[in-house]
Amino acid sequence: MKEKKFFISSSIPYVNAEPHLGHAQEFIEADIIARYRRLMDDTVFFLSGTDDNAQKNVQAAESAGIPVADYVNKHAKEFIDLEKRLNISNDYFIQTSVDPRHRDGAQKLWRACKPEDIYKKSYKGMYCLGCEEFKTEADLVNGECPEHPGKKLEEVEEENYFFKLSNYQSKLKNLVESDELQIIPQTRKNEVLSFINSGLEDFSISRSVARTKGWGIPVPDDETQTMYVWFDALSNYITALGYSDDGADYEKFWKESNERVHVIGKGISRFHTIYWPAMLLSTGVRLPSKVFVHGYITVGGQKMSKTIGNVIDPNVVIDEYGADAFRYYMARHISPFDDGDFTMEKFKEVYNANLANGLGNLSARIMKMAQDNLDEPVKVDNYGYTFQDGYIDESLSEYKINMAMEYIWSKIGDLDREITEKRPFSLLKESPETAKEIIVNLVLNLYRVGCMLQPFLPETADLIINATRINKKPENLFPRKD
C-alpha cells in the first residue's frame, strides 16, 4: 500500500499573555485529528508553536520591564507546558524568534514572490494591535474592531511594502469555490467567498524598524523594514518543515503530502484562506488543501476578558479533573464549528454524569465482574474498532468531532442497558455459563469503546484497553467530584 502523508497544524498564538481555553480547544482538536490519522495508518506530521515576532509582544515585554527575548521565551514555555499537560502529540514545536530555520525560510519566501507582487508605498490607516492589521471602515463596528471591542485603534502613517493581493482575486475565488482549497465548515467558506467578492485590497507586509523597535525578521535587502507579523508568521507552516533548504520533511509533508490541513480560529480565517494562499501562489509553493475553522469559547455566555474577570486557566481545570476530562468536554460539549460555552458548573455537571457515573463506573462494573468470574483474560485484540470503516471515520473525515464523541457515548449507553437488561450478576448462580458469556461480550465491547476513545482520551483509552487485556478492574478512572 502506498504511504499516505498527512500534515496538520494548529495556528501559532501570540505570546503576549498566558494560554487560555481557546488555545487548549485548538490544540485538542488538532491532536484528535492527528491521532485519528495515525490510527488510519497515515504518516503524520503535526506542527504547533508560538508567534513571537508580533508588535504586541514587544509592547507587553516593555510593560513587564523585561527584554523582549526573555518575555517571549517565558510565555512560549507556558504553551509548551500546556501542550504536554494536555497530552498533545505534536511532532514539532516552532518558536519563531529562535528557530534557526525560520528566519532563512521567511526571507526565502519573500524573495520567491513575483517582483510585480511586492511594492513600497506610503500609507496612512487605522491599525488594530490586537489583530496586527490595518482596518478599513468596512471592517469596523461602531468605529471599533469587532475582535477587540473597547480597544482604541492606532492611527499609523509610514512607508511599508505591500503585497498585490488584487492580482489573485479570480484565482482565489476559483480555488475556494471548487474546494481545491477546502474551507470547513460551509458557513466559513461562504464568508470567505463574500469577502473575495467584495474586492480584495493589497495589504501591508512590512513595518518600519522604528515601529517594531528592531524586533522581528528583517525584510531582505532593506534594513529599514521588518517583516509584517503575518508574512513572517504564516510562513512557519513550511519553515518548520525545512523550506529554507528544501529539507526532507518539507519534501515529504508539504510537496508530496496527500493532505495539508490548518486548524485555526474564526478570527484569523482571512489570513489563512486568502492572504496565505495568495502568497503561496506568488511563490509557486503548493497550497494547503484544507482549512478547518473553529469558533470561540465564551464563559457564561460572555467573551473571555480580563476586564470582566471571566478568563479560565486550563491548567486549573487539569489540576483538579485531569487532562482527559478536559479533553472530553472540549471534544463533546464544544462545537467544532460554532461558538461554545464553558463554565466550571457545566464542566463539573457533565464530568460527574458522563465520566464519573458514566464511563468510569461502567468500566469498573464490567471489569469487576470479569475479574471475579472469568478464569482468564478475554482475547480482545481481534475485536478492536476499525477506524477505516465506521461512523467515527465518517465524522472525523468531516471534522465533526462532537458527533464522533456522541457516537461513542451511545455505545457506552448500549453497554449500560445490556447490563441492566441481562443482569449477568444475577445469573451467576442459576446459569453461570450464560452469565460468563454475557460478561465476555461486555468485555469485548468495552475494549472496542477503549479503541474508539484513543484519539480523544488517550490515557483513559490505554487504561481501559490494558484492563481488558489483563482481566483486571482499573483504578477509579474519574473520581466523582462533590
303 is a catalytic site residue = yes
Question: Of the candidates 256, 274, 294, which is a domain's last residue?
Answer: 294
Backbone angles phi, psi at 164, to 5 degrees: -80, 75
What's the pLDDT score for residue 307? 65
Residue 284 and residue 364 share a domain: no
Among 5, 20, 102, 436, the active-site one is 20
23 is a catalytic site residue = yes
Reported as a pLDDT band with limits 50, 70 and 90, residue 94 is very high
Quick check: is 479 in a domain? no
Pairing outcome for strands 290-294 and 297-299: unpaired
pTM comes to 0.93
Find out whether 337 and 187 touch, Cβ atoms under 8 Å. Answer: yes
What pLDDT digit, counting tens, does each position of 355-378 carry?
Answer: 999 999 999 999 999 999 999 999
Backbone angles phi, psi at 301, to 5 degrees: 85, 0
Range of the domain at 461: 343-470
Write b or e for each residue in 45-81: b if 16 or more Cβ atoms lie within 10 A of its Cβ, otherwise e: bbbbbbbbbbbbbbebbeeeeeebeebbbebbebbbe
Question: Of the candidates 259, 279, 294, which is a domain's last residue?
Answer: 294
Residue 373 and residue 283 share a domain: no
pLDDT at 306 over 70: no
Mean pLDDT is lowest, of 6-15, 135-144, 327-336, for 135-144
Find out whether 380 and 314 touch, Cβ atoms under 8 Å. Answer: no
Quick check: is 478 in a domain? no
Among 145, 400, 436, 451, the active-site one is 145
What's the pLDDT score for residue 215? 92
Find out whether 409 and 354 touch, Cβ atoms under 8 Å. Answer: yes
171 is a catalytic site residue = no
Question: Of the candidates 294, 328, 361, which is a domain's last residue?
Answer: 294
128 is a catalytic site residue = yes
Find out whether 323 and 86 touch, Cβ atoms under 8 Å. Answer: yes
Among 5, 75, 108, 131, the active-site one is 131
**Helix, strand, coil % over all residues of the chain, rounded to 5:** 50, 15, 30
Quick check: is 13 in a domain? yes
Residue 358 and residue 280 share a domain: no
The CATH number of residue 448's host domain is: 1.10.730.10
Among 5, 75, 128, 164, the active-site one is 128
pLDDT at 141 over 80: no
Bigger pLDDT: 255 vs 153: 255
20 is a catalytic site residue = yes
Residue 153 and residue 46 share a domain: yes
Among 5, 23, 102, 262, the active-site one is 23
Quick check: is 324 in a domain? no
102 is a catalytic site residue = no
Reported as a pLDDT band with limits 50, 70 and 90, residue 148 is low
Of all residues in the chain, the percent with pLDDT exceeding 90 is: 80
Count: domains in the chain: 2
For residue 105, give Cα distances in angstroms to 143, 237, 267, 278: 37, 10, 26, 17
CA gap 346, 454 in Å, rounded: 24
pLDDT at 134 over 90: no
Among 4, 56, 148, 266, the active-site one is 148
Among 77, 114, 152, 303, the active-site one is 303
